[in-house]
C-alpha cells in the first residue's frame, strides 16, 4: 500500500531555471515526507515554567540581611566580578601568545659562540644576570655574521662566570648592564602567573557551585524541561485538531493519570510507553502536551539529542536522573522528542556503532522495563522514523502502543484552520472550508504557516482584515515559494517556458483521472522558472495504476511540447523526468504493477539512505531481474511519452492559445484556462 502521506499532495509541473540545470532545485510540490523545513510542529509556543516565589532566608550571609535569590542554581555575581574574570580570560591567551612570539624571535647561543661574537664586535646590547652558583644568564642583541649593522637579532645564553669573561664583556660591549638574582625571581613569577590565574578561575567556579548546593561536575544531570499543571495556559485536547483517532487512543491514558488506582483494582496495566509516529508537522509533540494538560500532571520534555555528549556515560547518567526526577513527581509524563537520535538500532551494521549512544539506549531500556519500577511514570516519545528504532525498544513492556498521527483529512484541516485563525481578523468572504479543500496533503504545521503567511500578506497591503485572496496567494506561496518578478528573463526563455507549462496544462485537461488545473504561471517562483499547479478535488487513500500512469504522462507534457513547438528540447524538464522515472520504478519494484514481473516487491521497505543495513545486505534479486526492472521502467515511460505526444498533436490549437495567453499575461487562472476550450471541443479532449 502506498504511504498515506504521498496521496494527496498538490501536483506542480514546473520548468527548472536554466542557470541551475546541473542541480535541479527543490520544488514546492514535495510530498509531506520532505516538508521538514517549514514548521517543526503545529503547536503554539510552549508554556514555560515559572519558578515559584520563595521567601528569602534570614541570615546566612554574615548578618547582612536576606540572601539574594539564586538564578539558574548559582548566586549572582556583580559587574566587577564578571569584568575581572573576563579580563583574566583575555589576558592569559594574550600573555601566552606574546611569550611564544618573544621566544620564537630569540636565538640561543653557546658560550663559545657568545665569546666569539664579543671579540668580533657583533654584540650590540648585553644584559647579565648573575646567579649564586656562578652561572650567568646573558641576553641582548647581536648582528648576525655577514649582515649589515641595521639587521639585528635577540639572543640569550648561559655562561660560566669568570674574571676573564667580565673583562671581555667590558672591553667589547659598550651597552652593558648587570642585574642581581632578584630578576630571576620575577621571571619565575611571570612564568607561573597564567597557571595560578587559571587554577583560581576554576576554583572560583567550583566554590560557587558548592555554595549554591549544586555539583561542580553536573554533566549527568537531566536537561528535561518541566511544565507543571498549574501553568497559566495549559494545552488541552481542544487545542489539538485533525487527529481525532489519536486523541481517542490517548483518553484512557489520561484517565489512568487522573486515577491510577481504578485500573489497579481491575488488574489492568496501563501502557508503560506510547510511541507517536507520523510525518513531520502533524502535531505529535502538541498531542503529548495536551495529554499532560488534560491529566493535570507534570510534563517533562527532552530531545533525544540532549542525551548524547562527547563524554562517555553522560547520556546514561542523564537518563537515570530524568527517571529519578519523574518518580518524585509521579504520576507524570516523560516525553522524548526525536527518540531516533538515541534509540537507533544497535544492529545497523557498518558505521552504525556508537558506544555512548548504545550506553544511553541501554539505560533507557532498563529504566522503562528493567529491575526497577516506575509506577506512575508514563514515557511518551515521538519520531518519524520508527523503522530504524531498536527492536528492544518497541517490544511490549516498553513502548506497548504505537499511535499513528497522520495527515489530516478535509474535515481535520478545517478544524486546524479554525484554531490557527481564531485570533486573526478575517473578512466576510473567507471560507475556511474552501481553504481546506484546496490544501490536501498539508500538515498542521503547513496550515499554521499558511495562516501566518496570509496575515503577513494582508499587513503588507495595509489591510485590517485577511481576505480570501490573501489565503489563495499564501497557499501558492507555501507550495511553490515567493515570486521572482524582478528577475530578467529573455524572450526566448519566456517562450520556451510558456509552451512548456502549456503542454503540462493541456495534457492534464485531457487525462480523465488527473486533478484539474488550478493555476499556470511563467513567473519564476522558488527554484522553478514557471509552474502548472493542479489541486485534488478530494482526499485519496490509494492510488490506482491508471492514475499513476497518467501522472507520468502529465509530467512529460512539458518536454513533448518543447520538442513539438520549438523543434528543440531543454534542461527545464529535468525535474519532471526525474519524478516520472521515480513513479515508474516504484510501480515496478514496490507496488507490483508490472505484468511481466508480477506482484513481487523488490525493495526492503526501508527508505533510509544509509544506516549500515543497506551495505551489509545483498539485493533481493539477481542481475537478470535488475535488467528486467530497467526494461519495464523504460517501457512505462516510453508508453507515457507516446500518449503525451498523441494528446498534444491532436490539441495543438489549444496548446498555442494557452502559450500565447501566458506570454501576454504571465499567469492564467483555472477559470481562464477552462475558457480556452470551446463547448464543441470538450467531448474530444478526453482521450
Sheet strands (E) in 229-277 = 273-277
Helix (H, G, I), strand (E, B) or coil at 40: coil
Q: Which residues pair with 483 in a beta bridge?
A: 525
Helix (H, G, I), strand (E, B) or coil at 565: helix
Which of 42, 31, 40 is CA-nearest to residue 2? 31
The grid coordinates listed for 660 are 500565447
Helix (H, G, I), strand (E, B) or coil at 296: coil
Is 294 a known active-site residue?
Answer: no
Helices (H), 105-220: 111-119, 163-172, 182-211
The grid coordinates listed for 118 are 664579543
- Alpha-carbon gap, residue 344 to 390, rounded angstroms: 5
Burial level of 375, CB count in 10 A (0-12/13-18/19+)?
Answer: exposed
- Alpha-carbon gap, residue 647 to 629, rounded angstroms: 27
Q: How far apart are the first and last CA of the chain?
A: 28
Burial level of 140, CB count in 10 A (0-12/13-18/19+)?
Answer: buried
Q: Which residues pair with 139 in a beta bridge?
A: 127, 156
CB atoms within 10 A of CB 555: 26
User: Do the Cβ atoms of 571 and 505 come closer than 8 Å?
Assistant: no
DSSP states of 308-375: --SSTTHHHHHHHHHHHHHHHT-SEEEEEESGGGT-B-TT--TT---HHHHHHHHHHHHHHHSSS--T
Backbone angles phi, psi at 211, to 5 degrees: -70, -30
The sign of the dihedral angle between the CA atoms of 482, 485, 489, 495 is positive
User: Do the Cβ atoms of 23 and 492 come closer than 8 Å?
Assistant: no
- Alpha-carbon gap, residue 456 to 453, rounded angstroms: 5
Q: Within the chain, how many helices (H) and strands (E) appear?
A: 23, 15
350, 355, 357, 360: CA torsion to nearest 10: 140
Alpha-carbon separation of residue 118 from 101, 165, 177, 355, 627 (angstroms): 26, 10, 15, 64, 87
- Alpha-carbon gap, residue 585 to 601, rounded angstroms: 11
Q: How far is CA 504 from the centre of its chain?
A: 34
Strands 225-227 and 175-179: unpaired
Neighbouring residues of 540: CB distance < 8 A, sequence distance ≥ 6: 7, 8
- Alpha-carbon gap, residue 20 to 23, rounded angstroms: 6
Q: What is the DSSP letter of 220?
A: G
Strands 175-179 and 123-130: parallel
Find the catalytic residue in 17, 453, 501, 632: 501
What amino acid positions are annotated as catalytic residues? Answer: 501
Amino acid at each position: 500500500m502506498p504511504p498515506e502521506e504521498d496521496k494527496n499532495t498538490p501536483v506542480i509541473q514546473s520548468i527548472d531555471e536554466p542557470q541551475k540545470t546541473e542541480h535541479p532545485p527543490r520544488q514546492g510540490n514535495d510530498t509531506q515526507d520532505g516538508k521538514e523545513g517549514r514548521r517543526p510542529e503545529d503547536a503554539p509556543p510552549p508554556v514555560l515554567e515559572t519558578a515559584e516565589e520563595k521567601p528569602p532566608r534570614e541570615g546566612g550571609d554574615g548578618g547582612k540581611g536576606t540572601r539574594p535569590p539564586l538564578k539558574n542554581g548559582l548566586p549572582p555575581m556583580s559587574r566587577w566580578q564578571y569584568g575581572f574574570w573576563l579580563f583574566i580570560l583575555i589576558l592569559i591567551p594574550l600573555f601566552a601568545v606574546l611569550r611564544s612570539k618573544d621566544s620564537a624571535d630569540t636565538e640561543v647561543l653557546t658560550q663559545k659562540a657568545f665569546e666569539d661574537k664579543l671579540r668580533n664586535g657583533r654584540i650590540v646590547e648585553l644584559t647579565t644576570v648573575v646567579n649564586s652558583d656562578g652561572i650567568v644568564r646573558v641576553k641582548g642583541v647581536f648582528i648576525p655574521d655577514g649582515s649589515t649593522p641595521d639587521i639585528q637579532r635577540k639572543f640569550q645564553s648561559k655562561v660560566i662566570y669568570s674574571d676573564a669573561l667580565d673583562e671581555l664583556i667590558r672591553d667589547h660591549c659598550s651597552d652593558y648592564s648587570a642585574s642581581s638574582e632578584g630578576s630571576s625571581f620575577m621571571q619565575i613569577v611571570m612564568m607561573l602567573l597564567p597557571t595560578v590565574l587559571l587554577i583560581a578561575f576554576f576554583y572560583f567556579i567550583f566554590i560557587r557551585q558548592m555554595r549554591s548546593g549544586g555539583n561542580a561536575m553536573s554533566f549527568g544531570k537531566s536537561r528535561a524541561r518541566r511544565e507543571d499543571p498549574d501553568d497559566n495556559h495549559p494545552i488541552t485536547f481542544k487545542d489539538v485538531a485533525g487527529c481525532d483517532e489519536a486523541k481517542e487512543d490517548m483518553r484512557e491514558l489520561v484517565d489512568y493519570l487522573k486515577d491510577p488506582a481504578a485500573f489497579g483494582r481491575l488488574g489492568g496495566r496501563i501502557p508503560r510507553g506510547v510511541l507517536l509516529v507520523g510525518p513531520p508537522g502533524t502535531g505529535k509533540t502538541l498531542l503529548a502536551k495536551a495529554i499532560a494538560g488534560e491529566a493535570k500532571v507534570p510534563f517533562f520534555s527532552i530531545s533525544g539529542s540532549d542525551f548524547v555528549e562527547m563524554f562517555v556515560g553522560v547520556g546514561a547518567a542523564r537518563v537515570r536522573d530524568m527517571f529519578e526526577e519523574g518518580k518524585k513527581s509521579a504520576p507524570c509524563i516523560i516525553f522524548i522528542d526525536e527518540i531516533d537520535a538515541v534509540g537507533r538500532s544497535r544492529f545497523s551494521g557498518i558505521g552504525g556503532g556508537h558506544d555512548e549512544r548504545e550506553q544511553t539506549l541501554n539505560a533507557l531500556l532498563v529504566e522503562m522495563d528493567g529491575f526497577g519500577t516506575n509506577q506512575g511514570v508514563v514515557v511518551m516519545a515521538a519520531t518519524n522514523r520508527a523503522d530504524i528504532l531498536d527492536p528492544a525498544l518497541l517490544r511490549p513492556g516498553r513502548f506497548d502502543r504505537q499511535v499513528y498521527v497522520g495527515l489530516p483529512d478535509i474535515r481535520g484541516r478545517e478544524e486546524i484552520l479554525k484554531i490557527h485563525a481564531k485570533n486573526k481578523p478575517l473578512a466576510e468572504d473567507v471560507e475556511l472550508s474552501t481553504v481546506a479543500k484546496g490544501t490536501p496533503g498539508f500538515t498542521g504545521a503547513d496550515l499554521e504557516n499558511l495562516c501566518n503567511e496570509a496575515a503577513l500578506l494582508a499587513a503588507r497591503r495595509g489591510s485590517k482584515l485577511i481576505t480570501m485572496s490573501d489565503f489563495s496567494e499564501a497557499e501558492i506561496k507555501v507550495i511553490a515559494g515567493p515570486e521572482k518578478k524582478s528577475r530578467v528573463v529573455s524572450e526566448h526563455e519566456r517562450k520556451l517556458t510558456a509552451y512548456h507549462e502549456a503542454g503540462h496544462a493541456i495534457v492534464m485537461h485531457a487525462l480523465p483521472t488527473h486533478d484539474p488545473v488550478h493555476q499556470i504561471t511563467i513567473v519564476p517562483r522558488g527554484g522553478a522558472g514557471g509552474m502548472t499547479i493542479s489541486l485534488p478535488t478530494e482526499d485519496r487513500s490509494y492510488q490506482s495504476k491508471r492514475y499513476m500512469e497518467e501522472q507520468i504522462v502529465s509530467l512529460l507534457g512539458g518536454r513533448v511540447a518543447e520538442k513539438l513547438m520549438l523543434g528543440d528540447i531543454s534542461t527545464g524538464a529535468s525535474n519532471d523526468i526525474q519524478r516520472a522515472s521515480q513513479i515508474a520504478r516504484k510501480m515496478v519494484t514496490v507496488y507490483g504493477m508490472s505484468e511481466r514481473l508480477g506482484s513481487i516487491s523488490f525493495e526492503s521497505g526501508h527508505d533510509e539512505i544509509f544506516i549500515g543495513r543497506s551495505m551489509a545486505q545483498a539485493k533481493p534479486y539477481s542481475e537478470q531481474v535488475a535488467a528486467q526492472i530497467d526494461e519495464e521502467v523504460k517501457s512505462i515511460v516510453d508508453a507515457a511519452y507516446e500518449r503525451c505526444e498523441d494528446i498534444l498533436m491532436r490539441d495543438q490549437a489549444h496548446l498555442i492559445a494557452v502559450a500565447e495567453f501566458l506570454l501576454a499575461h504571465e499567469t492564467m487562472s483555472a477559470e481562464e484556462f477552462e475558457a480556452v476550450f470551446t463547448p464543441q471541443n470538450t467531448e474530444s479532449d478526453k482521450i
